[in-house]
């Protein structure tokens, strides 16, 4: 569980993105403000990281209760 919590903490830090705070441009794909595009990409990144965590650190010891 410890690696999972460290990854969650790292992702949490990436959520507090101050670097695009006052910037609208560039407009990604011509219409998506960079701050919004960042958080959309961030959401997809979470899904990717979770896919890896589920494979690598699944709590198999709980499966025995099925």
Partner 1 sequence: MIPAIVIFIYLGIVLVIGISNRGGAGKSEAEGYFLAGRALGPAVFLLSLVGTNMTAFSILGASGHAFANGIVTYGLMASASALVIPFGLFVIGTRLWALGQRRGFMTPVQLFRDRWEMGHIGTVIFVVQAVLLVPYIIIAVMGGGTVLRTVSNGVVPFWLGGAIVSMVVMGYVFFGGMRGTAWVNAFQTTLFLIFGAVAVTIIGRGMGGFSGVMASLAEGTGTSALLTRERISPLYFFSYSFIPLSSLTFPHIAIFCMTAKKLGHFKKTIVLYPICMLLIWLPSVFLGVAANRATDVPAIEAKLEARATLATEGATLAPPEQAALRVKAGGDDVILRLVEGYAPFWLAALLGAAVMAAVMASDSQILALSTMFTEDIFTFYGGTSRFGGRVQVQTGRVFIVLITVVAYVIALNTPQSIFDIATQYAFAGYASLFPLVAAALFWRGSTKWGALASTVWTALAVIAVAVVQQNIPAPAPGQAITVLELGGQVVVTRAVQGTLVFGLLPVVPMTLISAVLMVAVSKLTPGARPGAGTLRTYFPAAA
DSSP class of residue 11 equals H
| DSSP line for 15-62 | HS--TTTT---SEETTTEEHHHHHHHHHHHHHHHHHHHHHHHS--GGG
Smallest gap, in angstroms, from Cβ of residue 6 to partner 1?
A: 11
Smallest gap, in angstroms, from Cβ of residue 10 to partner 1?
A: 11
DSSP class of residue 65 equals G
Binding-site ranges for partner 1 (CB under 8 A): 1, 4-5, 8, 11-12, 15-18, 20-25, 27, 30-33, 35-36, 39-40, 42-44, 46-47, 50-51, 53-54, 58-59, 62-63, 65-66
Smallest gap, in angstroms, from Cβ of residue 14 to partner 1?
A: 9
């Amino acid at each position: 569980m410890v690696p999972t919590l460290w990854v969650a903490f790292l992702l949490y830090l990436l959520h507090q993105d101050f670097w695009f705070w006052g910037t609208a441009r560039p407009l990604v794909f011509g219409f998506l403000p960079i701050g919004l595009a960042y958080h959309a990409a961030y959401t997809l990144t979470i899904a990717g990281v979770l896919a890896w965590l589920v494979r690598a650190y699944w709590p198999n010891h709980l499966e025995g209760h099925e």
